[in-house]
Amino acid sequence: MDCPNCKIPLNDDYHCTACNYNVNDAEWVIIKKVYSPQELIIQSVLEAYGIPVKVLSREVAQLPVSIGPLAEVKIAVPASEADTALQLLEELPDDL
């Protein structure tokens, strides 16, 4: 993804060498809830398009979620990338 301030590509750590923007400090939004291991596919698709992804599983979740093989995980991306990410996911088949 590009730096929202400078419009130049971020480096491999999603960090802008020009203005010091760090995507980890950005606002992140949850774009999708899936059941493990679907998040692995979504993560690889989005990262292939240069979109940083955070997978929020029960290990880091604020609220407890169901335990077991169908544990729900949440897919989060920077708010500036949410529209692009959702468009990409719409093109995926429903039965990942």
CB of 24 to Zn ion, least distance (A): 14
Question: Quick check: 66 and 57 in contact, CB under 8 A?
Answer: no
CB of 79 to Zn ion, least distance (A): 16
Handedness of CA 41, 42, 46, 51 (dihedral sign): negative
Q: Which residue, 21 or 28, has its beta carbon nearer to Zn ion?
A: 21
Q: Which residue, 23 or 46, has its beta carbon nearer to Zn ion?
A: 23
> For tokens 């060498």, what's the residue?
17
CB of 56 to Zn ion, least distance (A): 26
Q: Which residue, 9 or 37, has its beta carbon nearer to Zn ion?
A: 9
Give the full edge-to-edge strand order of the sheet including 28-35.
Answer: 28-35, 72-78, 54-56
Contact residues for Zn ion (CB under 5 A)? 3, 5-6, 16, 18-19, 21
